[in-house]
């Protein structure tokens, strides 16, 4: 059975509270439940992890070397400047799908560039919590 790692970056723990007009009103736990349901309906397994700390996210990405077939990541603001996350994704050589709840290309100019996009197989953004579900489905197709 394929197993994926779903990562949530900084401030995503405040989803449902922080800027609900941008990120929606569902809490992170509700979103995680929907992710788990989607993953299981596709016959896969997943672990889900959130951290506001870059190093903790990097450590989880490194764990993908042994225990996971792919990664779905919403790196939050780290998307735009964390070369350390980029290097970690590149190093593990596992397919990685970048997701964002908001359309980063329609927001502030500093959000338009993703430094992790070049080492990900694709990017899904702008569909709210459904960006995660689309990312999981994309990963399923990649691993099939």
Structure tokens belonging to residue 96:
């990685």
Q: How far, in Å, CA of 22 to CA of 15, rounded? A: 10
Which tokens hold the place of 97?
A: 């799908």
Q: Is 53 a catalytic residue?
A: no
DSSP β-bridge partners for residue 72: 6, 97
Integer CA distances (angstroms), 74 to 1, 46, 96, 128, in order: 24, 15, 10, 12
CA pair distance 11, 87, nearest whole angstrom: 22
Q: Is 23 a catalytic residue?
A: yes
Catalytic one of 78, 100, 132, 140? 100
Alpha-helix residue ranges (DSSP H) falling in 42-110: 54-67, 83-92
Catalytic site positions: 23, 100
């Amino acid at each position: 059975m394929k197993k994926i790692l779903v990562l949530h970056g900084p401030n995503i723990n405040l989803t449902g509270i922080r800027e609900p007009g941008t990120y929606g009103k569902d809490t992170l736990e509700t979103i995680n439940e929907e992710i788990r349901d989607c993953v299981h309906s596709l016959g896969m397994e997943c672990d889900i992890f959130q951290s506001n700390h870059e190093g903790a996210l990097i450590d989880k990405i490194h764990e993908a070397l042994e225990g996971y077939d792919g990664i779905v990541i919403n790196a939050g603001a780290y998307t735009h400047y964390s070369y350390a996350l980029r290097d970690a994704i590149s190093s593990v050589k596992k397919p990685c799908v970048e997701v964002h709840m908001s359309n980063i290309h329609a927001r502030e100019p500093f959000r338009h560039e993703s430094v992790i996009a070049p080492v990900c197989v694709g990017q899904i953004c702008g569909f709210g919590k459904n960006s995660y579900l689309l990312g999981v489905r994309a990963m399923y197709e990649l691993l099939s």
